[in-house]
Amino acid sequence: MKPNMIFGRAFAAAILATTIIGGPAAAFEPEATECIAPANPGGGWDFTCRQFGKVAQDIGAIPGTMQVVNLSGGGGGVAFAEVVNKRNDSNDLVVAASTATATRLAQKAYPGNTSDQVRWLGSLGADYGVIAVAADSEVETLPELLDMIKQDPRSISIGGGSAVGGWDHLKVLIAANEAGIEDVRSVKYIAFAGGGEAITQLLAGSLQAYTGDLSEAKGFVDSGDIKVIAVLAPERLEGEFSEFPTAIEQGIDAVGANWRGFYAPGGMSDEAYEYWATTIHDVYESDQWKQVMQTNGLAPLDLSGPEFQEYVDASIARIEELSREIGLIK
- Cα distances (angstroms) measured from residue 54 to each of 67, 214, 300, 310: 10, 20, 19, 28
The pairing of beta strand 209-213 with beta strand 157-160: parallel
Q: Please give the mean pLDDT across all residues of the chain.
A: 90
Q: Name 70's bridge partners.
A: 37
CATH homologous superfamily of 3-127+257-326 equals Bordetella uptake gene, domain 1 (3.40.190.150)
pLDDT at res. 78 = 96
Contact 272, 28 (CB under 8 A): yes
The per-residue pLDDT for range 176-231, each reduced to its tens digit, is: 999 999 888 899 999 998 888 999 999 999 999 999 988 889 899 999 999 999 99
Average pLDDT over residues 66-93: 96
- Cα distances (angstroms) measured from residue 323 to each of 111, 166, 306, 329: 18, 10, 26, 6
Q: What is the DSSP string of 177-238?
A: HHTT-S-GGGSEEEE-SSHHHHHHHHHTTS-SEEEEEHHHHHHHHHTTSEEEEEE-SSSPPS
pLDDT at res. 4 = 41
106 pLDDT above the threshold of 70: yes
Average pLDDT over residues 29-48: 93
pLDDT at res. 13 = 41
Query: Which DSSP category does 115 fall into?
Result: G
Give the integer Cα–Cα distance in Å for 98 and 111: 19
Least confident of 66-75, 135-144, 159-168, 307-316: 159-168
Segment holding 292, helix H or strand E? helix 287-296
Least confident of 4-8, 148-152, 215-219: 4-8
84 pLDDT above the threshold of 60: yes
Average pLDDT over residues 296-315: 92
User: Mapping DSSP to helix (H, G, I), strand (E, B) and coil, where does residue 75 land?
Assistant: helix
Give the integer Cα–Cα distance in Å for 200 and 225: 10
pLDDT at res. 6 = 40
Query: Which DSSP category does 113 fall into?
Result: -
Average pLDDT over residues 137-156: 97
3-state helix, strand, coil in the chain (%, to 5): 45, 20, 35
The CATH number of the domain covering residues in 129-250:
3.40.190.10
Q: What percent of the chain has pLDDT over 90?
A: 72
Domain boundaries, the chain: 3-127+257-326, 129-250
Average pLDDT over residues 302-310: 94
Same fold, 3-127+257-326 and 129-250: yes
For residue 202, how many other CB atoms are within 10 A of its CB? 25
